[in-house]
Amino acid sequence: MTEPTASNTPSQTSAFKSGTIAAALAYFCWGLWPIFWKQLDGIDAFELIADRIVWSEITIVAILLAMRQFRFWRGADRRVVLLLGASACLIAINWWVYVWAVGNGKIVESSLGYFINPLVSVLFGVTFLRERLNAVQWTAVAIAAAGVAYLTVQTGALPWIAIVLALTFGGYGLIRKVAVIDSLRGLALEGAWLFLPALLYLIVLYGHGQNHFGAVSTRVDIFILLTGPISAVPLLLFAYGARRIPLSLIGILQYIGPTLQFLTGVLIYREPFSRVQLIGFGLTWAALAIYATDSVLRHLKQRA
């Protein structure tokens, strides 16, 4: 995994640090999302995702207009636009599965998906981007994989929520790393792929009297409006970080989100957490400790 060394320029070191901070903040925000989505219990996940797509795109375009970037689509080549279409589909699927899981009392299970996610990011980084891991890091990956395998075998059922969340967000992270475009414009073009279908869906719901926006309470309306900025800001931070740090480092930072989600599900919403889950999650946490310790020690050694 590439980290700044004595041969790096100050600008490269600065980019590495700012990218790491931005990605960490994104995962911190995502880790607290269950609390937000629980405020909208009772609303269908498809409607919430449509709201989220529409209001997040409006938020991003408003930011671009405030920055006087009136033609944000200019300069993006066809390959990048198509890549962003693929990433838009992946993030929409990820959003829907996650919101559905939270609304159906599956916060702990969804956190497992984001614990698996770093394994997917590491795999994609090694496979597609030729990033390298040392022996200690491979050991950490193997331990985490063992934890996931243990949970799968002991529960006797395919953890589809976890698998879908891991694959879709891992794929999203890979595409955003290779799509050469700045964070804000990239998000705007992503949203453009989904904006009209989402808006049409909400219009159809409104025509049938099934749209909750403006029909329940001011409190619900406020939370629906907030789906825009709470979706856009972490994605901006993530896209900024993904362009500046190795995908393998993104993989380790991703543990912040699921850890917070897990604690929210168990401590706040009292979801069950069995001995089997404790062992499986414990293995992934041990892997995180090994991976993080190795990264910190190597970075300190390089600075010394």
Sign of CA dihedral 139, 143, 145, 149: positive
Res 6 pLDDT > 70: no
Res 2 pLDDT > 50: no
The pLDDT value recorded for residue 273 is: 86
Give dist(CA 169, CA 238) in Å, integer.
Answer: 11
Confidence of residue 48 (pLDDT cuts 50, 70, 90): very high
* 280, 283, 287, 289 alpha-carbon torsion, rounded to 10°: 110
Task: Provide the whole-model pTM.
Answer: 0.79
The pLDDT value recorded for residue 269 is: 92
The pLDDT value recorded for residue 9 is: 66
The pLDDT value recorded for residue 89 is: 94
Confidence of residue 248 (pLDDT cuts 50, 70, 90): low
Please tell me what DSSP assigns to residue 218. Answer: H
CB 143 within 8 A of CB 176: no
CB 292 within 8 A of CB 252: yes
Residues with Cβ within 8 Å of residue 247, at least 6 apart in sequence: 121, 122, 124, 125, 129, 131, 173, 174, 177
Residue (of 165, 115, 125) closest to 288 by Cα position = 115
Residues with Cβ within 8 Å of residue 18, at least 6 apart in sequence: 240, 244
pLDDT tens digit string along 167-226? 998 899 889 888 878 778 888 899 999 999 999 999 999 888 888 887 778 999 999 999
Position with higher pLDDT, 189 vs 131:
189
CB 29 within 8 A of CB 235: no
Position with higher pLDDT, 133 vs 21:
21
CB 186 within 8 A of CB 172: no
Alpha helices in the chain (DSSP H): 10-31, 33-38, 45-66, 78-103, 107-128, 135-155, 160-178, 183-207, 218-242, 247-253, 256-263, 275-303
Mean pLDDT score, 90-107: 92
Position with higher pLDDT, 135 vs 75:
135
- Give the residue extent of every domain in the chain: 10-303
The pLDDT value recorded for residue 205 is: 92
Give dist(CA 194, CA 94) in Å, integer.
Answer: 14
Res 74 pLDDT > 90: no
Give dist(CA 56, CA 199) in Å, integer.
Answer: 12
137-151, 186-200, 281-295: range with highest mean pLDDT: 186-200
The pLDDT value recorded for residue 168 is: 93
Position with higher pLDDT, 192 vs 10:
192
The pLDDT value recorded for residue 92 is: 92
Mean pLDDT in the chain?
84
Position with higher pLDDT, 44 vs 155:
44
The pLDDT value recorded for residue 295 is: 72
Mean pLDDT score, 257-278: 88
Residue (of 23, 29, 17) closest to 247 by Cα position = 23
